[in-house]
Copies of this chain bind each other. A is one copy, B any other.
Amino acid sequence: MDDKLKQLQTILAEVADLYAAAALLGWDQQTYMPAGAAEGRGYQLGTVESLAHLKFTSQEVGKLLDEMQPYADQLDPDSNEARLIKVTRREYDKQTKVPPELVAELAQVSAVAHQAWTEARAENNFAMFQPHLEKVVELRRRYADLFAPYDHIYDALLDDFEPGLKTADVKTIFEKLRPQQVALVQAIAAKPQVEAGFLYQPFDEQKQWDFGVRVISSFGYDWKHGRQDRSAHPFTQSIGLEDVRITTRFNPNFLNPGLFGTMHEAGHALYEMGIDPLLRRSPLGSGASLAVHESQSRMWENLVGRSLPFWEHFYPQLQQVFPSQLGNIALQKFYKGINQVEPSYIRVEADEATYNLHIMLRLEIEIALIENSLQVKDLPEAWNTRMEEYLGVTPENDAVGVLQDVHWSGGMIGYFSTYALGNLVSAQLWERINMDLPDLPEQIRKGEFSALLGWLREKIHRHGAKFEPQELIQRVTGSKIDPAAYVRYLKAKYGEIYQI
């Protein structure tokens, strides 16, 4: 049986190597690739990814999994070996259900839809995008139907990003969260606004870069196994577990994007860097899910990086770097400014208090589209109605409304909720951490993050993808994903800032 396990591990390692090669091709495409190389890069990515898929879904893998099942059943269910077989089996069964023709059709339709979306957004014309989105929705529905019987047709789409999570679960979570978050935003809106104009000044890019590097180095970002580069859209990319890179973009006239973007991506990277090396080159060598990943990035960005103790340590240093811009701005004023709540049209610019409302709106619309209770043609109206209801604003036009996000054009339906779930998980973990490390605020006030990182490594990072998200959160916090902690966190924080 050892031989069979080794055979399986060898194949899975090769699959992981191919995905690592694809990851580098993707990283390079967004950082250093010459503009004229895009078409060739498309071929290269297509070939490498399809070979990885073919290898993973080969009959050989299926046969090995079948033969090893009795052996797996005898193992400690928490052992790396048992989990490897379980996770591989699960992913194998999913991927082999999907006919290659459907994958190819979705890739082709998405490529065209993405182009149409780019033009539709530029011309602020939803009708140009509508027929393409209709095809995407239709294909995603056909994809979801492959996994019948199901409790809800949206389950399969969600499962691709959050293994094991059900549509009913996220509905329950979000229905509990939404009224409380809407009420909070309304309460804040009724209060005098805090000042944030000082964040919009010229800030030298190199100095922003250097300060960000100083911050994430103190978090524990390991430059021997990572690097930072610039890109149009910030992202984190693992090219194997030994090479976890981040990118950041800087706005020369606005401090927030570079500063908090760097902390956010470092949070993703710290997760991957902390995965047990024994899990490398296997399906277990990645994060548990997108929501758990996002819980890490949002924790470092928000629960740490937008907290008062953090700035008690770092603000004097930031003032030294930008004396003319911030020398006369007091700590409390700075802290309130970076936490300003201001309902807006655009998700990626949203603050902590309103962000989840942007997500809930999208999730509700996605579910309705997939279950056919909403037609694509009625999307703009559904969008604008909810924006008014949840955030009290109506987009000026579809370009800053229903057309703002790239995801649907690329066939990514099922992804959005992970952003909001990540926020919820970050707060659940934060309550637990603060019980285990009662002097954490004091440590942060000294710029000390090693105990925090050690806790995250021990409880979350090292496990990689061994546990499904709900199981992992349950093990660590004692309950599944639940919005209560996040609501408590928001109320405490904004109650104090806005004196509610």
A14-B47, A24-B28, A47-B18 in contact; A40/B280 too (CB < 8 A)? yes
B240 and A37 within 8 A (CB)? yes
B225 and A47 within 8 A (CB)? no
Question: Closest CB of chain B to A46's CB: distance in Å?
Answer: 8
A40-B280, A281-B43 in contact; A243/B48 too (CB < 8 A)? no
A224 and B43 within 8 A (CB)? no
In the assembly, what is the distance between CA of A222 and CA of B241, in Å?
Answer: 35
With a cutoff of 8 Å between Cβ atoms, the chain B residues found around residue A28 in the complex are: 24, 28
Residue in B closest to A32 when the chains form the complex, CB atoms: B227
In the assembly, what is the distance between CA of A34 and CA of B34, in Å?
Answer: 22
In the assembly, what is the distance between CA of A221 and CA of B421, in Å?
Answer: 49
With a cutoff of 8 Å between Cβ atoms, the chain B residues found around residue A44 in the complex are: 17, 20-21, 24, 239-240
Partner of A24, one of B24, B222, B227, B245: B24
A225 and B25 within 8 A (CB)? no
A48 and B18 within 8 A (CB)? yes
B40 and A20 within 8 A (CB)? yes
With a cutoff of 8 Å between Cβ atoms, the chain B residues found around residue A43 in the complex are: 13, 17, 240, 281
With a cutoff of 8 Å between Cβ atoms, the chain B residues found around residue A47 in the complex are: 13-14, 17-18, 21
Kindly state whether residue A39 has any CB partner on chain B within 8 Å: yes
In the assembly, what is the distance between CA of A144 and CA of B302, in Å?
Answer: 63
In the assembly, what is the distance between CA of A225 and CA of B280, in Å?
Answer: 34
A241 and B40 within 8 A (CB)? yes
Which residues of A197-250 have CB atoms within 8 Å of chain B's CB atoms? Answer: 222-227, 229, 239-243, 245
Q: How many copies does the complex hold?
A: 2
In the assembly, what is the distance between CA of A36 and CA of B273, in Å?
Answer: 12
With a cutoff of 8 Å between Cβ atoms, the chain B residues found around residue A222 in the complex are: 36
A34 and B280 within 8 A (CB)? no
- Give the contact-size bracket for chain A: 35 or more
Kindly state whether residue A98 has any CB partner on chain B within 8 Å: no
Kindly state whether residue A122 has any CB partner on chain B within 8 Å: no
In the assembly, what is the distance between CA of A226 and CA of B32, in Å?
Answer: 10
Kindly state whether residue A178 has any CB partner on chain B within 8 Å: no
Question: Closest CB of chain B to A202's CB: distance in Å?
Answer: 24
With a cutoff of 8 Å between Cβ atoms, the chain B residues found around residue A245 in the complex are: 34
A243 and B40 within 8 A (CB)? yes
Dominant secondary structure at the A interface: helix
Residue in B closest to A241 when the chains form the complex, CB atoms: B40
B21 and A48 within 8 A (CB)? yes
Kindly state whether residue A104 has any CB partner on chain B within 8 Å: no
What 1/0 flags go to A10-46 for Cβ under 8 Å of B? 0001100110111011001000111111011101101
In the assembly, what is the distance between CA of A167 and CA of B227, in Å?
Answer: 47
Partner of A17, one of B14, B32, B48, B242: B48
Which residues of A412-456 have CB atoms within 8 Å of chain B's CB atoms? Answer: none
A28-B28, A43-B13, A280-B40 in contact; A243/B34 too (CB < 8 A)? yes
In the assembly, what is the distance between CA of A176 and CA of B280, in Å?
Answer: 57
What 1/0 flags go to A339-366 for Cβ under 8 Å of B? 0000000000000000000000000000
In the assembly, what is the distance between CA of A105 and CA of B207, in Å?
Answer: 51
In the assembly, what is the distance between CA of A51 and CA of B22, in Å?
Answer: 14
In the assembly, what is the distance between CA of A90 and CA of B32, in Å?
Answer: 36
Question: Closest CB of chain B to A245's CB: distance in Å?
Answer: 8
Residue in B closest to A37 when the chains form the complex, CB atoms: B243
B227 and A36 within 8 A (CB)? no
A242 and B39 within 8 A (CB)? yes
A36 and B240 within 8 A (CB)? no
Question: Closest CB of chain B to A40's CB: distance in Å?
Answer: 4
B281 and A224 within 8 A (CB)? no
In the assembly, what is the distance between CA of A21 and CA of B25, in Å?
Answer: 7
A239 and B48 within 8 A (CB)? no
A34 and B281 within 8 A (CB)? no
Partner of A25, one of B24, B34, B35: B24
What 1/0 flags go to A39-69 for Cβ under 8 Å of B? 1110110111001000000000000000000
B242 and A40 within 8 A (CB)? yes
Question: Closest CB of chain B to A57's CB: distance in Å?
Answer: 16
In the assembly, what is the distance between CA of A18 and CA of B281, in Å?
Answer: 19
In the assembly, what is the distance between CA of A46 and CA of B18, in Å?
Answer: 10
A34 and B225 within 8 A (CB)? yes
Question: Closest CB of chain B to A239's CB: distance in Å?
Answer: 7
B33 and A243 within 8 A (CB)? yes
Known: A21-B21, A40-B239, A41-B243. 9 other contacts (CB 8 A): A13-B47, A21-B25, A21-B47, A24-B44, A32-B32, A34-B223, A36-B222, A36-B224, A37-B239
Can you give 11 contacting A-B residue pairs, CB < 8 Å?
Answer: A13-B43, A17-B47, A18-B48, A20-B40, A21-B24, A24-B28, A28-B28, A32-B32, A36-B225, A40-B281, A41-B240
